Amino acid sequence: MTLVQLRHFVVLAELGAFVQASKALYLTQPALTRSIQALEEELGGRLFDRLGRRIALTPFGHEVLQRARRLVADAEALKQTGKGLHEGLIGSLRVGLSSGPGALLSTPLMLHMAEHHPRLQLQISRGNTGVLIDALRGQLLDAVVVDVRSVRPSADLQIAQAFELGAGFLVRPDHPLVQRGRSVTIDEVLAYPVASTPLSDEVARLLIGRYGPQANPDDMVTLRCDETLSIVEVARLSHAIVLTADAAANGLVRLDMTPPLEATARFGLVTLAQREEAPALRILREQLPCWIQGFSTRAAE
């Protein structure tokens, strides 16, 4: 007994004639007849009474029909579920976002899923890069978007879709350093509290190389927090200076530094190299370039 035979039986019972059923199933009448006969033999009883050209369900056929309908419907639902999972339309997606990516991507990602994939379960985890990479390796996350400068090269990690966003020292528009109307030095910056998320060694070397030992983040940063949105809010409400990506600091302006900092934030999508990806990850891969382009455009305006 196969699902194909059960489907043949259900269609024949609903249409009540071999001619119509064979057309609906794209079968010849002899092929349909053989399928029904094989099913009857396996079930041990007649499903239909043949009344000339007409057929009618037997009492046994009526009982089998109810179960056959459920089995065929369940099989079709299972097929659609598999298709939906493969296309990323249903199921789940577990994404880790470090501080900068979290500030930029959390809302767009949730909004996109709510509008276009309402049946997909999205879980966003926030944390520093090290914690998120450990969760990825433990298969607690399907992917992470983090500062790739802080990710140690490893054969088990795969970095894709890396992108850069302009970054620098940012302040509120009415900050005293902005009101001077000229470029400012690192000494002038250090006269104010400096806020930042933990910075990679690469960024630390850039700062020291550009402005000297006094720009070492270990000494320069007086307000350190894992959450970009929190340090940006502090800069909005005070004269603190925040070192972050321009796109993550809505409402702030970049200080014109001398010499210019010319820094970027470099984020990337990280997955496990040897693990089959969650189907829904395709959605994030497709949308990331659009979101990043939007952030870059708004930051440049």
In the chain, where are the structural domains located?
3-86, 92-162+266-300, 165-265
Q: What architecture is domain 165-265?
A: 3-Layer(aba) Sandwich (3.40)
Q: What is the pLDDT of residues 243-273, one digit of tens each?
A: 999 999 989 999 999 999 988 889 999 999 8
DSSP 191-230: TS-EEE----HHHHHHHHHHH-GGG-HHHH-SEE-S-HHH
For the 3-86 domain, the top CATH level (class) is mainly alpha
Cα–Cα distance list, 108 to 25, 53, 105, 286, 288 (Å): 45, 62, 5, 13, 10
| pLDDT, averaged across the chain | 89
pLDDT value at residue 91 = 78
φ, ψ of residue 110 in degrees (nearest 5): -65, -40
CA distance 143 to 157: 10
pLDDT value at residue 294 = 81
Strand residue runs (E) in 43-82: 48-51, 54-57
Does the pLDDT at position 73 exceed 90? Answer: no
State whether the Cα torsion 209-214-216-220 is positive or negative: negative
The alpha-carbon radius of gyration of the chain (Å, integer) is 31
Q: Return the minimum-mean-pLDDT range out of 31-35, 57-61, 70-74, 123-127.
A: 70-74
Element counts in the chain: helices (H) and strands (E): 12, 11
**Residue 188 · residue 169 · CB < 8 Å:** no
CA distance 177 to 8: 80
The domain 92-162+266-300 is placed in CATH, from the list 3.10.400.10, 3.40.718.10, 3.90.1300.10, 3.40.190.10, at 3.40.190.10
Q: What is the pLDDT of residues 150-179, one digit of tens each?
A: 898 899 999 988 888 999 999 999 999 999
What distance lies between CA 42 and its chain's CA centroid? 48
Q: What is the pLDDT of residues 82-126, one digit of tens each?
A: 666 566 666 788 999 999 999 999 999 999 999 988 888 999 999
**Angle between the N-to-C axes of helices 99-116 and 281-300, in degrees from 0 to 180, rounded to the nearest 10:** 120
DSSP 73-134: HHHHHHHHHHHHHHTTSSEEEEEEE-HHHHHHHHHHHHHHHHHH-TTEEEEEEE--HHHHHH
CA distance 299 to 158: 29
Q: What is the pLDDT of residues 8-45, one digit of tens each?
A: 989 888 888 888 889 888 889 899 889 999 988 998 98
Task: Note whether 3-86 and 165-265 share their fold.
Answer: no
Percentage of residues of the chain with pLDDT beyond 90:
49
pLDDT value at residue 83 = 62
